[in-house]
Structures are given as C-alpha cells and as structure tokens.
Amino acid sequence: MIHTLLGALAPRMGLSWRETARGWQRPTAAPDAPRAPLTLDLEIRVPDLSALLDPASPVRDRLVACGRVDLPGLAAAAPILAGTVELALTEDGQLRYRLDFLGADGRMLCLEASRDWALAAPLHGLRRLTGEIIDRGSGVPVATCTATGRAADLLATLRSLRLQRGTPSVLG
C-alpha cells in the first residue's frame, strides 16, 4: 500500500548517503602479521524508493554501493567496480556488503562484510563492519577485516542524506 502511494506521488524518487569506515585488515596467510589500515569511502544508493518498499520487488533488499576501498598492500584507493548492500534486517539482522575492486597486483578482489543490527541497540551493531577480502579468481580469502564507524562519521552520514528524483548521487 505505502509503496503504491509513494510510486504514484513520486515515481523514481531515490535516496543516497555517504558512509565512511576506518579499521584494519590482516592477511589470512599470516595471522600473526601486523594489522594494516583499511578505509572505506562509500556512497549507498536507493535508486527507487517505491521498489525498496514493495515486498514483491526483486530488488527490494538490494542497494547500490560505489566509492573507494583503500587497503595498503592490497589496493590503494581502488574504485569499487560493482557493489551492493543487502538489507537482511528482518531475516538475520544484518546489512551485507559486497564490494568488487581491482587489487594492486591485478587480481579481482571482493570485500564481503556485514554489519549486525538489533532493534534493542540499533546503532551499536551498525558501527562495526566485519568480513573478509576474497580473491575472486580462486575464491580464497586473502585477508580478514574490521572497520568501525565513529560518532563523527555517523553525523557526516546523516548530513549526506539526499532525497532526489531519478538516480541520486552525493559524489557528484
């Protein structure tokens, strides 16, 4: 009902926001190695809010992610070639990220990570992102990673929210 009303009033109304997370990554082949920094500078897009709210939509839980991944030793400010964020908040309480990018050595890599979400403490779990960086060619994990959003990052994310017609972008 809401998705039908929204579709009638604002066809192709979209939403976007910017998200930054900083943390660390460690090679899986050397679990005792020192941690290396990790920075994610992302833009998350909901191209069509009516599709997001429509339970029958095949793209209902999929958001588009673009931006850059900075993983010294693996990829320096690499652009995300394909990225999605899956909203699985009702099924298992997670936001699942899948970010494909080209590594410094030419390998196609994928950061597969998630944020946990709970109604009792919604912001607590959303601050922490954990996952793996996987070599897409072999399917073998090359690093583990953890990133945490700070309060200042959350405020910047809230300020970056944009509601627009068509496919919105805050990156320009």
Is residue 15 very low, low, confident or very high in pLDDT (cuts 50, 70, 90)?
confident
* DSSP string for residues in 49-76: HHHHH-TT-TTTTEEEEEEEEEETTTEE
Q: Are 81 and 95 in contact (CB under 8 A)?
A: no
Model pLDDT, residue 168: 45
Q: Are 98 and 123 in contact (CB under 8 A)?
A: no
Percentage of the chain modeled with pLDDT above 90: 40
Rounded distance, CA 28 to CA 104, Å?
Answer: 17
Give the rounded distance of the alpha carbon of 22 from its chain centre.
Answer: 13
**Domain coordinates in residue numbering, the chain:** 2-163
Rounded distance, CA 20 to CA 145, Å?
Answer: 15
Rounded distance, CA 36 to CA 85, Å?
Answer: 24
Tell me the whole-structure pTM to 2 decimals.
Answer: 0.80
Q: What is the pLDDT of residues 113-150, one digit of tens each?
A: 988 776 666 555 567 889 999 999 999 999 999 988 77
Model pLDDT, residue 36: 94
Q: What is the pLDDT of residues 96-117, one digit of tens each?
A: 899 999 999 999 999 999 887 7
- Check whether 170 has a pLDDT greater than 50: no
Helices (H), 91-164: 122-126, 151-160
Model pLDDT, residue 88: 65
Is residue 90 very low, low, confident or very high in pLDDT (cuts 50, 70, 90)?
low
Cα angle 6, 9, 13 (rounded to 5 degrees) comes to 65
Q: Are strands 36-46 and 13-27 parallel, antiparallel or unpaired?
A: antiparallel
- Check whether 25 has a pLDDT greater than 60: yes
